[in-house]
Amino acid sequence: MVEHEPITWRAGGEMGVVNSIEDAWLVIEQGRIAGFGSGEAIPFSDDEVFDCKGGLVLPAFCDSHTHLVYAGNREKEYEDKVRGLSYEEIAKRGGGILNSAARLSETPEDQLFEESLERAMEIVRSGTGAVEIKSGYGLNIADELKMLRVIQRLKAETPLTIRSTFLGAHAFPGEYRNNHEGYVSLIIREMIPAVAGEKLADFIDVFCDRGFFTAEQTGRILEAGIKHGMIPKIHANELDLSGGVQVGVRHGALSVDHLEYLGEDEIAALQKGRTMPTLLPGASLFLGLKYAPARRIIEAGLPVALASDYNPGSSPTGNMELIMSLGMIQMKMLPNELLNAVTLNGAYAMGLEKSHGTISPGKVANLIITTSMPSFGFMPYSYGTSQIRHVILNGIIQ
Ligand code: NIG
Ligand code: FE
């Protein structure tokens, strides 16, 4: 996926476009891509050469939606789900997000960091170079700040490029069960200013869906976030048509994510804005939900990004190769569309399209070297078997 000029995103029919060269060489200088070409005399000396042995060189994955900072896991709850309870029923019983919040609250910050660091390094090995990570298992000021500080430490101590998101509006904590307005007001008046005061979040997110936050509450929370310099990027329409897409586009959201439910009004809203529709097929697989209508979105001339949603409740994996396979098997996306969805379009959904997501001169040297596969389509096709041989981040082999 080589580009000489930086591009913003690929949408509609352009999602099927991937420029590539054969017999290629690529030069890295100080962690950036200095240039590339094919065939002609290679402008560097032999001792610096890394032979890709017939593999493809791809941009590293840009995973624009994760919750990979969390404490413990929810595998017991998943057994309840297998026995027949729905995601919403589990949430209503105090399980789900509230269960993760209870575990996070009793976990010291250092331990939370160690658990999260393991997941961060796991996604590095599986080819991710840039990732967005959300708070949202704190649900009170102290614990939300604890999560966001752990994200800052991951920024400093891993080779990943990380963008952080404040998701205080992920669920209503138990003590606000009958006072939703009280929690919305806590988020707006106290949490957002505290987070902004420590410069801990690039983005603001709200879970705008049936049984969680309404579109009206979402709008007010986004406005407060914007006033404090955070860009909206929201969860919408996982469980129903929530009005989330419209409220997101109206507030200039960088992305609206999930979209398992999507009507004509939502498509029309997206066509008017610059918001990236981001689909999370891991959550559909794990929760048994329907899959978002990727083909309809692309055929409406829009872009699509795919992300892992790595979290303990609805998608406990950050494996972007698997996410691409789900995009192909379940959403009928084609190989080139998948590659654009997990690289350039994911980068756009994090505001990183100028520095990540394609192999272009000047961009960060975040690259995947694959096995000597017959074509790129072999990667999503061979689901469950990784085709990644090496991962290079900031010019360094991981
Ligand atoms: O994106 N939908 C809301 N949030 C997460 C799930 C969080 C959880 O269950 O812990 C999601 O699917
Ligand atoms: Fe999510």
pLDDT of residue 44: 67
- Rounded distance, CA 7 to CA 113, Å? 35
Q: For residue 167, is it within any domain?
A: yes
In this predicted model, which residue has the larger pLDDT, 316 or 2? Answer: 316
Residue 146 CA to its chain's centroid (Å) = 21
Q: For residue 1, is it within any domain?
A: no
How sure is the predictor about 41, in pLDDT bands with cuts at 50, 70 and 90?
Answer: low
Q: What is the pTM of this model?
A: 0.97
Same domain for 79 and 53? no
Q: Which of 304, 309, 358 is nearest to 333 (CA)?
A: 304
**C-alpha 313 to ligand 1 mean position (Å):** 6
**C-alpha 56 to ligand 2 mean position (Å):** 31
**C-alpha 235 to ligand 2 mean position (Å):** 6
Atom of ligand 1 nearest to the CA of 309: 1
Which ligand ends up closest to the CA of 316? 1
Atom of ligand 1 nearest to the CA of 87: 9
Same domain for 226 and 149? yes
**C-alpha 209 to ligand 1 mean position (Å):** 11
Domain assignment of residue 385, given as a range = 12-59+358-397
Whether the CB of 311 sits within 6 Å of ligand 1: yes
Whether the CB of 309 sits within 6 Å of ligand 1: yes
Reported as type and span, the H/E element at residue 265 is helix 264-272
Q: Which tens digit of pLDDT belongs to each residue from 147-171? A: 999 999 999 999 999 999 999 999 9
Q: Which tens digit of pLDDT belongs to each residue from 211-266? A: 999 999 999 999 999 999 999 999 999 999 999 999 999 999 999 999 999 999 99
Same domain for 122 and 37? no
pLDDT of residue 10: 97
- Rounded distance, CA 22 to CA 36, Å? 11
Lowest mean pLDDT among 74-88, 294-308, 357-371: 74-88
Nearest C-alpha to atom 1 of ligand 1 is from which residue?
309
Same domain for 216 and 69? yes
Same domain for 304 and 275? yes
Atom of ligand 1 nearest to the CA of 96: 9
CATH number at residue 374: 2.30.40.10
How sure is the predictor about 6, in pLDDT bands with cuts at 50, 70 and 90?
Answer: confident
Nearest C-alpha to atom 5 of ligand 1 is from which residue?
314
Same domain for 212 and 302? yes
**C-alpha 314 to ligand 1 mean position (Å):** 6
Atom of ligand 1 nearest to the CA of 238: 2
pLDDT of residue 327: 98
Atom of ligand 1 nearest to the CA of 258: 1
Same domain for 69 and 27? no
Mean pLDDT score of the chain: 95
**C-alpha 26 to ligand 1 mean position (Å):** 39
Same domain for 382 and 338? no
How sure is the predictor about 4, in pLDDT bands with cuts at 50, 70 and 90?
Answer: confident
**C-alpha 107 to ligand 1 mean position (Å):** 20
**C-alpha 133 to ligand 2 mean position (Å):** 10
Average of pLDDT values for 367-376? 97
Tell me 370's DSSP state: E
Residue 193 CA to its chain's centroid (Å) = 25
Average of pLDDT values for 170-193? 97
Whether the CB of 312 sits within 6 Å of ligand 1: yes
How sure is the predictor about 355, in pLDDT bands with cuts at 50, 70 and 90?
Answer: very high
**C-alpha 92 to ligand 1 mean position (Å):** 14
Average of pLDDT values for 347-356? 98
Same domain for 258 and 131? yes
CATH number at residue 159: 3.20.20.140
Q: For residue 4, is it within any domain?
A: no
Which ligand ends up closest to the CA of 98? 1
- Rounded distance, CA 83 to CA 307, Å? 28
Phi/psi zone of residue 349: left (φ > 0), alpha (ψ -120 to 50 degrees), beta? Answer: alpha
Same domain for 292 and 266? yes
- Helix, strand or coil, per DSSP, at residue 34: strand
CA dihedral 366, 372, 378, 380 (to 10 degrees): -30
Same domain for 50 and 66? no
Q: Which of 263, 325, 340 is nearest to 16 (CA)?
A: 340
Q: Which tens digit of pLDDT belongs to each residue from 78-110? A: 999 999 998 888 888 878 999 999 999 999 999
Q: For residue 234, is it within any domain?
A: yes
Q: 81, 98, 170, 291: which to mutate for ligand 1, most atoms within 8 A of CB?
A: 170
3-state SS record for 96-146: CHHHHHHHHHCCCHHHHHHHHHHHHHHHHHCCEEEEEEECCCCCCHHHHHH
Q: For residue 7, is it within any domain?
A: no
Q: For residue 51, is it within any domain?
A: yes
73: β partners = none
pLDDT of residue 40: 67
pLDDT of residue 126: 98
Contact 306, 256 (CB under 8 A): no
Q: Which residues surround ligand 2, an ion (CB under 5 A)?
A: 309
Nearest C-alpha to atom 10 of ligand 1 is from which residue?
313
pLDDT of residue 45: 65
CA dihedral 164, 285, 258, 264 (to 10 degrees): 170
pLDDT of residue 334: 98
Whether the CB of 325 sits within 6 Å of ligand 1: no
Whether the CB of 202 sits within 6 Å of ligand 1: no
Q: For residue 367, is it within any domain?
A: yes
Q: 66, 67, 103: which to mutate for ligand 1, most atoms within 8 A of CB?
A: 67
Percent of the chain past pLDDT 70, that is, above it, reads 97
pLDDT of residue 49: 84
Whether the CB of 314 sits within 6 Å of ligand 1: yes
Q: For residue 112, is it within any domain?
A: yes
**How many domains, in total, are found in the chain?**
2
Whether the CB of 238 sits within 6 Å of ligand 1: yes
Same domain for 31 and 74? no
Burial call 37-74: b when 16+ CB within 10 Å, e when fewer: eeeeeeeeeeeeeeebeebbbbbbbbbbbbbbbbbeeb
